[in-house]
Structure 1
Amino acid sequence: MQTVTSADGTSIAFERHGEGPPVILLHGGSSPEYWKPIVPRFADDHTVIVPHRRGVGESGDSAEYSLDRGVEDVRAVIDAVDGSPVLFGHSFGGLLAVETARTASVEKLVAYEPAVLVGEYRRQADLASRMQARIDNGDRRRAMKFYVREVIHGGDIDDLDGWLAEWPPWPDIVALTENVVRINRAIERYRLPESLDVDAPSLLLTGTEGPPHLRDGIRAVDEALPDGEFVEFEGVGHGGPTEAPDRVTAQVRSFIDEKAASVPNGDD
């Protein structure tokens, strides 16, 4: 485990696997363990960097949190890496990847269903406060169940307890409940600009079974990006990178390996 110091002095930990051009994997509301099925699919020919988000895993924490602070943490990791990295983020990590790519030098940007809320859903979003109410009532587990139902299943699942019994992060993820509340506050405050000034080529990924509000969000991000490719996986939900790791990895690898198209120099 290695660490870097973010702009406000907080220690940010990151794992390093493999050797080659750098790929940075940014996790969402779960832990860095989310990327466990993905790491070996890149580590043979890439240096895979897995940061631990502030307040999660081996990273330090602070009393205040914001999206800007999260971007500062990612930039600190980028500065510690040799070469211009590919940023690959999932959910809130996808939003962090998009926002970081606006100000940092990255080779390419990949985001699976970044946590961007748009339209009427954003105007009415209150997931953070509804989770906090359950925490205040002494039921952190119920707060996390509510989060999972809304974010992973779009609020619609017949047997959540049965699904959770088969979901590897459960029940350990309950330990992250307060951290998840604060990232959802950051998500709810975020307003997607009409244009995202990202110079790097971008790949946006979604699944046909993902929550409707995040599928709306990623299409809005696609419209705002100047150089974006959009891919939808049939039959895959919000957990795409771990639900269908072979399909997702193949798509990301193809994108990473694409060479920039040659641009005429104007001499003709």
Structure 2
Amino acid sequence: MTRENIRTPDGGTLELFSTGAELAGHGSGVVVVHPSMVTAADYTRFAQKLSAALERPVHTFNRRGRGQSSPQPEDYTLDTDIRDLEAVMKHTASTDVFGHSFGGAVALHAARSLPVERLAVYDPAVSVNHSVKADWTEEYERATAAGDDDRALAVMIRGMETGGAFARMPLSMLTLANKLTAGTPIGKQNRELMKTGVREIKAIIAADMPAEPFLELPLETLIVVGEKSPAYFGVACGQIHDVLSGSSYTILPGYGHDGVNRAPDKLITELSDFFSG
């Protein structure tokens, strides 16, 4: 794996990691856009397995607010991530994109205007006809204003619903669990990315639209939803699939929202077949 910092048109910096860079002559690379509350490092295993299956490069990058990438700008919107994805695609000469969760929302909106040839998403957190709700953000902001980051994080985890059984714990128990894990790597990362993550959730909701504009997506679009993932992912994906006649829709059996991070062979094979055309 290689690492480099690239510049964006607005003067920002993105930390870029390329797996299988020596395979660049074998075809377009695949750019991976990661979710909220994580970093590019959480997708190393996935990138390695997909690159090996494709025999092509796979590029991951830290979105703003992570690693050596620039902080989110004060006027942050979803368009910031779309322009950053464009910069990574140009720098790596890549035309294929994969997005997971929030990264899937970025990829879906971006592919309506960027030169994406093949697009695949897993549990994209895109809001279609108000499919994504975030009523919990007011309670989150009250907790942060009171200096109670453990409770704020608990409110966020429950609201996003992506943590499986852990996210369904009573709020008091989840708050205690956050307090007990504050010193662990995942606890530290969650606290570092909380504010960034909430801004991203708000950006998704601000970009809500009906399904029809997604007709501009590439004909080659693969939509994958985890069988055990929260229902709201399937609501939006079903509406997009209904209007996009050339899309493929599949459910990954036995897996939830973390299916990409686990990188099961079934998912890698499906993505490899798709990106191989």
Q: Answer with 142-151 or 48-57: which moved more.
A: 142-151
Alignment RMSD (CA, Å): 2.5
2 CA distance for matches of 1:120 and 1:15? Answer: 34
Asked if the contact 1:12/1:53 (under 8 Å) is kept, the reply is yes
The yes-or-no answer on 1:68 pairing with 2:79 is: yes
Q: Which moved more, 1:59-68 or 1:134-143?
A: 134-143
Is 1:179 aligned to residue 196 of structure 2?
yes
Structure 2 counterpart SS, 1:36: helix
Q: Structure 1 residue 4: deviation in Å?
A: 2.5
Aligned partners of 1:130, 1:89: CA distance in 2, in Å? 29
1:5 to 4, 7, 22: 7
How far does residue 224 in structure 1 lie from its aligned partner after superposition? 3.6
Inter-partner Cα distance in structure 2 for 1:222 and 1:22: 25
| SS of aligned partner of 2:92 | coil
TM-score computed with the length of structure 2 as normaliser: 0.82
Quote the Cα distance in structure 2 between the aligned partners of 1:107 and 1:168: 37
In the alignment, which residue of structure 1 is the partner of 2:148? Answer: 139
Counterpart secondary structure, 2:98: strand
* Cα contact 1:112–1:206 (8 A) shared by 2: yes
> Any idea what SS the aligned residue of 2:228 has?
coil
Q: Select the residue among 121, 124, 135 that pairs with 1:114.
A: 124
Amino acid at match of 2:95: P
| 2:205 alignment partner in structure 1 | 188
Give the match's secondary structure for 2:16.
strand
Residues 202 and 228 in structure 1, CA contact (< 8 A), matched pair in contact too: yes
Q: How does 1:1-268 map to 2 (within 5 A)?
A: 1-18=3-20, 19-20=23-24, 21-29=28-36, 30-44=38-52, 45-61=55-71, 62-82=73-93, 84-119=94-129, 121-122=131-132, 125-151=134-160, 152-153=162-163, 157-158=168-169, 161=177, 169-193=186-210, 194-196=212-214, 197-258=216-277
1:119/1:71 Cα in 2 relative to 1: closer, same or farther (>3 Å)?
closer
Tell me, yes or no, if the aligned pair for 2:46 and 2:263 is still in contact at 8 Å: no
Deviation larger for 45-54 or 168-177: 168-177
| CA distance in structure 2 between the aligned counterparts of 1:195 and 1:92, rounded to whole angstroms | 19
Q: What's the secondary structure of 2:168's corresponding residue?
A: coil
Q: Distance in 1 between matches of 2:224 and 2:204?
A: 19
CA distance in 1, matches of 2:190, 2:60: 18
Which blocks of at least 5 consecutive residues in structure 1 are unaligned?
259-268
Mean CA deviation greater in 11-20 or 238-247: 238-247
TM-score by length of 1: 0.85
Number of residue-to-residue matches in the alignment: 254
Preserved contact between residue 129 and residue 208 of structure 2 (Cα < 8 Å):
no
Report the CA distance between 1:109 and its aligned residue. Answer: 0.3
Question: Is the 1:198–1:226 Cα contact (8 Å) retained in structure 2?
Answer: no
User: Greater helix percent: which structure?
Assistant: 2
Equivalent pairs: percent with the same residue? 26
Q: Gapped runs of 5+ residues in structure 2? A: none
Whole-angstrom distance in 2 between the partners of 1:9 and 1:25:
22
Task: Note closer, same or farther for the CA distance 1:6–1:224 as it changes in structure 2 (3 Å cut).
Answer: farther
**Alpha-carbon distance in 2 for matches of 1:176, 1:237:** 22
CA 1:59–1:215 in 2, change beyond 3 Å: closer, same or farther? same
How far apart are residue 157 of structure 1 and its match?
A: 2.1
| 2:130/2:208 contact within 8 Å kept | no
Larger mean CA deviation between 60-69 and 244-253 belongs to 244-253
1:191 counterpart SS class? coil
Offset of residue 59 of structure 1: 0.5
The amino acid of 1:188's aligned partner reads I
Cα deviation, residue 171, structure 1: 4.2
> What CA distance in whole angstroms lies between the structure 1 residues aligned with 2:247 and 2:185?
32
Measured in 2, the distance between the counterparts of 1:85 and 1:243 equals 25
Give the distance between the partners of 2:130 and 2:208, measured in 1 at CA: 13
**How far has the Cα of 1:94 moved from its partner?**
0.3
